[in-house]
Structure 1
Amino acid sequence: MAPDELDFEAEYNNRARVPDHPAHIAGWQRDAAAYRGTARCDLDLAYGPGERHRLDLFHPENDDSSGPTVLFIHGGYWQAFDKSSSSHLARGANRRGLMVAVPSYTLAPAATLADIIAEIEMAANFITQRTGRPIVATGHSAGGHLTACLMARPMPQQRPIQAAMPISGLFDLPPLVGTSINRALGLTTDDAQHLSPLAWAPPKSGKLVAVVGGAESSEFLRQSRAIVDTWGKAGVTTRYHEVPGAHHFDVIAGLADPADPLVNTLVELAGEA
């Protein structure tokens, strides 16, 4: 189907596509709270001056002190959730010896998308300064967009992020402009283009694995294929990975399991960071 024939509202409205999404979200909150109660963690570290400039740092069970830090960025179309819904997603990497940082960020409409990108850059800055380690960036949905932004736009006087695993990421934003998702964001078509990682100069090196659920919409599949193709041609080592049968709300579940292919990929990327 040609892009001008697609119903972008249907393609991007994941809550409408997955009617039992409330059960999945409730499960995130339950499992995340349970993991915070047992994990070795430093909670509510301030990475900036704002109310939501806070992150949680989850330490590996083996107290490893040499590997990179995995930075997981939550989704919610830049307008929902916070770090408290994702704590359990640190479990798999923790049990494989990796530290995991999970930040919150100011949500739209209180912040613009450009502001949110800057906040995540500030969080990454804080993590590298606190830990002295490189970062493996990962994130879900809107967090996948922010993951790609971090890798594509190196921070001044900071080590570039060389390894990333966006999950169900959004890299081409103009299709969102006419949807209900844009009510809180207030993006013009020019804004959306300007804030799309696919419109930026790609990194010339590094490794990116774009993950997406096999049961997600054609647009989500297209977005992940597009960044793999575009960045791959620029010199990044890229790979496209579909989680069989997964929809937008369960595609991240494997991060909690140390034996899952997604965690295997994070461990692989840790060797590239």
Structure 2
Amino acid sequence: MELDDAYDNVGYIPDAMSYPPRWAKAAGAYRDVLIAEGRALLGLPYGGTERQAFDLFHPKDAAKGALVFVHGGYWRRFDRSFWSHLSEGALAHEYCVAMPSYDLCPEVRIADITQQITRAIETIAEHVEGPLILTGHSAGGHLVSRMCEPGLLRETTAQRVKRILPISPVSDLRPLLHTSMNELFKLTEDSAAAESPVLMTHRLSVPVSIWVGSKERPAFLDQAEWQSKAWSCPLHIATNKHHFDVIDALSDPNSEMMKDVLL
């Protein structure tokens, strides 16, 4: 299809296929530490299918609130078990970290996943008091951006969201109509527009900050810039980072990304 190459990350990242097993290994090792310390609650349900569940990690001291991380994978890959190590940065700053999984395309549509993440955040809000920070990578960046649509989250929950940080987000889904991935997404012009954050003219009044790697595909640099301009929000370009390693900064309590998350 016309835009397959433009949205192909794997083909342009050296040793790309080594990343998923490395993520899984790092996540498992860090999760084991949290389990041993009694700071992990795993597989908490928020919906009616096996994948509609989240892991909740607690800091050593009283929590200031919760950071929710929504994973990517083009709405068709991965689950929460690959990313536990990314919670280290927020935990060090005394925030709980919640990581939901969700059902994947083609079993569900992207609009269904948006609704699932809405339910996940509502359920997480019942488990943790205080402010909520929403961040997500790639498709997850799209999903946390969608939470800015008025009426998705309950008003009491929306009022607790203090910051949203999309990382390498897919902000305009219409180009995906011209990729072979749409055989799984089954997007139409109307449904792609309805799920595109760049076209959300009414949004919650929540501070948003967008991150993307300087070595990402031009299409993802464009997607980040489109959302930044449409939403009049800051855009941070992480030097020498590509689509698969730009998220590493979440595991570093002292990274510029974590400082931005916790503003």
TM-score range, shorter chain: over 0.9
Q: Structure 2 counterpart of 1:69, which letter?
A: A
Match of 1:261 among 231, 237, 256: 256
Alpha-carbon shift at residue 204 of structure 1 (Å) = 5.4
* Equivalent residue, structure 1, for 2:20: 25
How many residue pairs are counted as aligned between the two chains? 256
Partner secondary structure for residue 242 of structure 2: coil
CA distance in 2, matches of 1:22, 1:153: 38
CA distance in 2, matches of 1:181, 1:16: 15
Q: Is the 8 A contact 2:148 2:204 kept in 1?
A: no
* Equivalent residue, structure 2, for 1:120: 117
Q: Is the 8 A contact 1:8 1:176 kept in 2?
A: yes
Alpha-carbon shift at residue 69 of structure 1 (Å) = 0.8
Q: Structure 1 counterpart of 2:242, which letter?
A: H
Match of 1:134 among 122, 131, 136: 131
Instruction: Write the mapping of 1:38-53 to structure 2, written as runs, cut at 5 A.
Output: 38-39=33-34, 40-53=39-52
Q: Is the 8 A contact 1:134 1:159 kept in 2?
A: no
* Equivalent residue, structure 2, for 1:214: 214
1:220-249 C-alpha deviation (Å, 9 max, x unpaired): 1121112122112xxxxx211011011111
Q: Is the 8 A contact 2:164 2:207 kept in 1?
A: yes
- For the pair 1:242 / 2:254, whether they are aligned, the reply is no
Q: Unaligned stretches of 5+ in structure 2? A: none
* Equivalent residue, structure 2, for 1:187: 187
Q: Is the 8 A contact 1:139 1:147 kept in 2?
A: yes
1:116-165 C-alpha deviation (Å, 9 max, x unpaired): 00000000000112213331100000000001001234423433134100
Structure 1 length-normalised TM: 0.89
| Matched-pair identity in % | 36
Alpha-carbon shift at residue 203 of structure 1 (Å) = 2.0
CA distance in 1, matches of 2:173, 2:155: 29
CA root-mean-square deviation:
1.6
CA distance in 1, matches of 2:66, 2:240: 29
CA distance in 2, matches of 1:203, 1:189: 21
Q: Structure 2 counterpart of 1:47, which letter?
A: Y
Q: Is the 8 A contact 1:10 1:17 kept in 2?
A: no
